[in-house]
Amino acid sequence: VSNAGVGMAGPLECQSLAAMQSLMDTNFFGLVRLVKEVLPDMKRRRGGHIVVISSIMGLQGIVFNDIYAASKFAVEGFCESLVVQALRFNVAISLVEPGPVMTEFEAKVYEEAERADYSRTDPETADIFTNLYLRNSKDVFASLGQTPEDIAEHTLRVIEAARPPFRHQTNAAYTPMAALKHADPSGTLMTDAFYKLVFKYDTVLRLSLR
């Protein structure tokens, strides 16, 4: 089970390349290093199961989570490319894709975001992040967040499955979000829906979450 991960949220201009590289080294290359270690022996034994804790943000990017989403997209692409070869050796690969989870990990990310210096971005972007994104994120976690125990139960079901799924989403509330992307390959439907949700109907969003 690959579960190592770090988070990052905020305007792109305010994040250093060193911090981005460090995040990718943990979230993506950490997985790659693990798989390189365990896969050869699994292939020799003709059996094994690699379970990767991904994220719904590996399927759909979320505003102000550019680098974190990129790392999870990389995880998804890596596993999707590898799974067919692995199956030839009777090795299963499963991606567990949670939405928000109420842990110290998430709390730390948002505490750091609230204390960060936003002088390197324009005032409008800083205002959108602090007064729209951060405020809405707290409501999202309070309303839709899962517990670590819930994610553990989902992961256990994946591990014990007779035919392990390649992808397993843990939060049904995010199924429509992922479906938007597949409904319109041009991306217009998804982009328009998220733009309106963030900038036009944010009051309705907050009320519905509460």
> What tens digit of pLDDT does each residue of 8-28 get?
999 999 999 999 999 999 999
Among candidate residues 74, 130, 141, the one with its CA nearest the CA of residue 106? 141
Cα distances (angstroms) measured from residue 112 to each of 56, 115, 122, 133:
22, 5, 19, 14
The residues pairing with 52 across neighbouring beta strands, listed in sequence order, are 2, 95
110 catalytic per annotation: no
From the list 68, 110, 195, 201, the catalytic residue is 68
Instruction: Please give the Cα distance from 210 to 202 (Å, whole number).
Output: 12
Task: Give residue 140's pLDDT.
Answer: 77
- On the question of pLDDT at 208 being above 80, the answer is no
> What tens digit of pLDDT does each residue of 153-192 get?
999 999 999 999 999 999 988 888 778 888 898 999 889 9
Task: Give residue 121's pLDDT.
Answer: 93
Q: How far apart are the two ends of the chain, measured CA to CA in Å?
A: 34
- On the question of pLDDT at 106 being above 80, the answer is no
Q: Show the DSSP H helices in the chain as ranges.
A: 17-27, 29-45, 66-88, 104-115, 123-127, 134-144, 148-160, 175-183, 188-199, 202-209
- On the question of pLDDT at 141 being above 80, the answer is no
Q: Which of the four pLDDT bands, split at 50, 70 and 90, describes residue 131?
A: confident
Q: What is the mean pLDDT of the segment spanning 189-204?
A: 82
- On the question of pLDDT at 111 being above 90, the answer is no
Least-confidence region, from 21-25, 41-45, 83-87, 105-109: 105-109
Per-position DSSP letters for 46-82, written without gaps between them:
T-EEEEEE--GGGTS--TT-HHHHHHHHHHHHHHHHH
Instruction: Please give the Cα distance from 72 to 85 (Å, whole number).
Output: 21
Q: Which of the four pLDDT bands, split at 50, 70 and 90, describes residue 209?
A: low
* Assigned token pair, 162: 């007779």
Count Cβ atoms below 10 Å from residue 155 Cβ, excluding itself: 19
- On the question of pLDDT at 57 being above 80, the answer is yes
Instruction: Please give the CATH number for the structural domain made up of 12-209.
Output: 3.40.50.720
Each domain of the chain, given as residue ranges in start order, spans 12-209
